[in-house]
């Protein structure tokens, strides 16, 4: 059952279409990631759902009720801000129970819920501190605590991890996902980091210039990009796109191999060693192509190699519209090759 439904929602800033005719749904208890480059309208979409901006067109419904013209408070949601938006003069405990005090929840229940939430987010020993005395990761936990204590069924997150260092980001990613599943919240999560989208999402909505570029499971977006934009956005390193006449041939780096007697002559430009695998940046026919090799690759920059890939792994896009061309043809070929 879908808890969040946006239908044909638009938001304009003057002539600019920040959000342009966006429709999406999120199922109960799922995590939906709004993904896209900066300025694509993902944060505005989130703010529209939160009620911090009012939609110029379209309707938004939460839990079956039309909330298009309701205030943020009436929408009964919780939200984590990119800046965390912690109240700097209040202690951790006061920050977390802020909403409960607003709603005049009794002191006994407030304390009980604070204790429970502090345990969940691991802040029990820091409740008396001020936000300025906390590390980035701890502040993030306070913001999480404040979001979950209300026990709202819908939680919105606006790039919550972008202020953390890489290691902490990885940790919190797992934690937020676990928390979301444990509490059964429906979560909309905005990020520009495709890794976060791939690892956390049940469903990814990729946006571009205020429109939805593609929406689907992480697997679909990775294995079946509907446009060259999606192909370039998902995956590190992104899909190689080689221009050939009026079309773009896309092939993932891990599907390209360096083999003696391969189909294409290539020259190695650079090698990045990541430990478990290596990314070899080559050039074929004057176009860059990256190759992912397992382990510690021994090829040297400047070396001439031959590369090859399975034609069944190719994705084809129209070079002008960048739309996927060969849906049906490719499917057939894959089916044939697997027999």
Partner 1 sequence: MVAHRRPVASGMTDTAAASPIPQRRAGAQAWWNAVNAWLLLLPAAVLLVAFTHYPILATIRHSLFITKRNGTEVFIGLDSYQGMAADPIFWKALINNFWFALGTIPTSIALALVMAIWVNRNMRGRGFLRLAYFTPTVLPMIAVANIWLFFYTPDYGLLDQLRGVFGLGGWNWLGDPSTVMGCLIVMVIWKEAGFFMIFYLAALQQLSPDLDEAAAIEGASRWYTFRRITFPLLMPTTLFVAINAVINSFKLVDHLVIMTKGGPNNASTLLLYYIYEVAFTFQDSSYAATLTVVLLLLLSAVALVKFGYLDRRIHYQ
Footprint of partner 1 on this chain (CB under 8 A)?
50-52, 71-73, 77-79, 81, 83, 85, 87-89, 98-99, 102-103, 130, 132, 146, 150
- In angstroms, give the least distance from the CB of 101 to partner 1: 8
- In angstroms, give the least distance from the CB of 55 to partner 1: 17
- In angstroms, give the least distance from the CB of 142 to partner 1: 11
**Cα–Cα separations (whole angstroms), residue 26 to 1, 135, 193, 295:** 8, 33, 20, 39
In this complex, which beta carbon is closest to partner 1, that of residue 104 or of residue 125?
104
CA-nearest of 113, 98, 123, 205 to 151 is 113
In this complex, which beta carbon is closest to partner 1, that of residue 152 or of residue 228?
152
Pairwise CA distance, residues 34 & 43, whole Å: 8
Pairing of strands 203-208, 31-35: parallel
Cβ–Cβ < 8 Å for 225, 234: yes
Q: Give CA angle at 197 (193, 198), nearest 5°.
A: 115
In this complex, which beta carbon is closest to partner 1, that of residue 60 or of residue 249?
60
- In angstroms, give the least distance from the CB of 210 to partner 1: 21
Tokens representing 194 are 């495709």
Phi, psi of 280 (to 5 degrees): -105, 120
In this complex, which beta carbon is closest to partner 1, that of residue 74 or of residue 321?
74
| DSSP state letter for 248 | E
- In angstroms, give the least distance from the CB of 11 to partner 1: 16
In this complex, which beta carbon is closest to partner 1, that of residue 153 or of residue 252?
153
In this complex, which beta carbon is closest to partner 1, that of residue 33 or of residue 150?
150
- In angstroms, give the least distance from the CB of 154 to partner 1: 11
Phi, psi of 334 (to 5 degrees): -60, -45
What region does 168 belong to: left with phi over 0, alpha with psi -120 to 50, or beta? alpha
Pairing of strands 211-216, 203-208: antiparallel
């Amino acid at each position: 059952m879908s808890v969040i439904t946006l239908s044909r929602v638009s938001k304009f800033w003057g002539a600019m279409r920040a959000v342009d005719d966006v429709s999406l749904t999120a199922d109960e208890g799922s995590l939906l990631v709004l993904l896209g480059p900066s300025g694509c309208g993902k944060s505005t979409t989130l703010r529209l759902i939160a009620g911090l901006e009012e939609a110029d067109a379209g309707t938004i419904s939460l839990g079956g009720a039309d909330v298009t013209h309701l205030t943020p408070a009436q929408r009964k949601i919780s939200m984590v801000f990119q800046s965390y938006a912690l109240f700097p003069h209040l202690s951790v405990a006061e920050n977390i129970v802020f909403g409960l005090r607003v709603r005049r929840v009794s002191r006994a229940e407030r304390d009980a819920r604070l204790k429970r939430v502090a345990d969940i987010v691991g802040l029990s020993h820091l409740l008396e501190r001020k936000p300025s005395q906390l590390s980035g990761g701890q502040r993030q936990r306070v913001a999480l605590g404040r979001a979950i204590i209300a026990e709202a069924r819908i939680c919105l997150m606006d790039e919550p991890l972008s202020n953390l260092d890489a290691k902490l980001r990885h940790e919190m990613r797992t934690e937020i996902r676990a928390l979301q599943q444990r509490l059964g919240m429906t979560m909309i999560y905005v990020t520009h980091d495709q890794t976060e989208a791939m690892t956390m999402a049940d469903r990814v909505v990729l946006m571009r210039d205020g429109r939805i570029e593609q929406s689907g499971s992480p697997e679909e977006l990775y294995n079946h990009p509907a446009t060259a934009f999606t192909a370039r956005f998902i995956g590190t390193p992104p899909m190689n796109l080689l221009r050939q006449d009026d079309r773009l041939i896309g092939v993932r780096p891990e599907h390209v191999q360096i083999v003696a007697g391969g189909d294409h002559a290539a020259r190695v430009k650079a090698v990045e060693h990541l430990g478990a695998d290596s990314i070899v940046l080559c050039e074929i026919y004057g176009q860059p192509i990256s190759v992912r090799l397992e382990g510690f690759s021994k090829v040297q920059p400047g070396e001439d190699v031959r590369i090859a890939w399975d034609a069944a792994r190719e994705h084809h896009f129209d070079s002008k519209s960048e739309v996927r061309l060969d849906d049906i043809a490719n499917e057939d070929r894959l089916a044939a090759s697997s027999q």
